Amino acid sequence: MSSNDPRRENEEEAYMQADDAEEIFDRDEDHHMSDGEGEYDDENMTIEDEITFQNDSAAHFDSHSDSVFCVAQHPVHNNIVMTGSGDDTSYIFDSTPAPRPVLPSSYESNPQPRERESLLPLAKLEGHTDTVNAVVFTEPAGEYAITAGLDGKLRAYRDTTPQKTGLAWEFFGEVQEVEEINWMAACPYQKGNEATQNVIAIGSNDGSAWVFRIDHTDPGQPISIIQTFFSHTESCTAGAWTPDGNLLATVSEDSSFFVYDVFGAAAAAGIEYSPGTNAILGLNGEDQRFAVEGGLYTIAISPSGGIAAVGGAEGNIRVVGLPRIAAGAPATKGKAKGAASQSGSTAAGTIMAALQTQTDNIESLSFSQAPFTLLASGSVDGSIVMYDAAHRFAVRRHIRDAHDGSAVVKVEFLPSNKQLGATVSGPLAAAPAAHQNRSWMLTSVGLDGVVRRWDARGGTAAASQGLMQEWKGHMGATENEEGEQAGGIMGFVQGMDGKRIVTAGDDGISLVFEE
């Protein structure tokens, strides 16, 4: 190529000649560099990793400024959701995602990237001075929203809309009877059992359990005590109602288990109390068949109300028969009076199974609805086990790596249509009836930040362990210097016949996932 091109001449002038380079650099192979010379400072170096973040959510709620520890959904209007957080507040919001555009952005003349906006709160519930770690709507109509916290307070709000749509809320009462509240459960309601309306139970760090009635029309006692129980000697870690709302079962760190006749229905049916207690059933470590060293932390009651499963340390599960109360046994609005002299069920108190398939603490238990007879357990060891209650609780399936090595926080079989409520809004309102009665469907969440759906039908060799679908969007768990994990999903609710899931994220966000 010709060298008289002016551009080539400029380029040649821009380079040093070899002699010039020798004058500038004195190469001495035996001379060590002084500190900081000729090397990159680690603080100034940046390593760029390509991170692919998958977000399958249809909507999100991000008004909290700290971890979201709990979530509840309205029993009638499933789209209305309440959360509780480490920022000492709760929010109520409508989980219905915004309408999607008819055409994708590629059809626009000048498409621009859009950041999705957060769902807006219907109400901000303030007043706690510590973490809000339990929230519920009362049954049957969701008339009241109740928040409970590590400050020991119960705070009550009422739906002020004329049609009880859950779109406006007003504070009306507060009580504090304990130092810290560990859990809260709304009493189920069955038509004709008026005593169980708008009733909640709580468990405390001092081992006590309390039952309250909520009634904003009572100016003197809008939150009134129905019963108090002091059977446990250590922290009361979990509690659950029987489906008819008559009995309350609780467990504790002292590895004890008690069942209480809250409204007197068991006494009226001729079921006697345990000697020296106000419980109709009590078990603890003194019975070697029941003993669980390290405590009990979760409980589930079967849809029939005849069986309770309790889970605790080192993967231990105990399955216990519960007293049967005949339908129509009277319940009173006051406290239960005395006890009858004869037992109402030969199975009551029977230890039906002692299970230990998993190796670490049991975090969650769930019974399937009829016609299936399954018990699912989620463990800190990262596994899910399904037991067959109809065949002596034989292991139906053991999913050892259900959440990629992270702890399983919650498992829940899809509730019945009655429990899921009747009001459906948005595009899900037109879903086919074929989605109904999917009681074989199990949902799980873990510290990996993933929601997974499992098909519980089939045996131990089910394809992919029965995994149907998964949704991502939350940050997974990270480990601090002490080796403790933080992050992931703390809880969830599933409504609209399971077609919508709303999560409580340790990253401070609630995500809405839809099928």
* Domains within the chain, CATH numbers bracketed: 53-97+116-176 (2.130.10.10), 178-293 (2.130.10.10)
Kindly tell me if the per-residue pLDDT of 356 is higher than 50. yes
Are the beta carbons of 293 and 285 closer than 8 angstroms? Answer: yes
In single-letter form, the type of residue at position 284 comes to N
Residues with Cβ within 8 Å of residue 347, at least 6 apart in sequence: 306, 321, 322, 324
Task: Quote the pTM value.
Answer: 0.83
Furthest-apart CA atoms within the chain: distance in Å:
118
Residues with Cβ within 8 Å of residue 373, at least 6 apart in sequence: 388, 389, 390
| Secondary structure (H, E, C), 114-144 | CCCCCCCEEEEECCCCCCEEEEEECCCCCCE
| Among 451, 459, 464, residue whose Cα is nearest residue 505 | 451
Q: How far is 159 from 283, CA to CA, in rounded Å? A: 40
Kindly tell me if the per-residue pLDDT of 196 is higher than 50. yes
| pLDDT range class, residue 332, cuts 50, 70, 90 | low
Kindly tell me if the per-residue pLDDT of 472 is higher than 50. yes
Residue reference for tokens 């419980």: 279
The DSSP letter of residue 435 is G
pLDDT, one tens digit per residue, over 4-17 is 444 444 444 444 44
- What the block records as the tokens of 90 is 């709760």
pLDDT, one tens digit per residue, over 23-60 is 433 444 444 444 444 444 555 555 454 445 789 999 99
Kindly tell me if the per-residue pLDDT of 361 is higher than 80. yes
DSSP per position, 48-93: ----------SEEE---SS-EEEEEE-SSBTTEEEEEETTS-EEEE
Q: Cα 489 vs. chain centroid, distance in angstroms?
A: 8
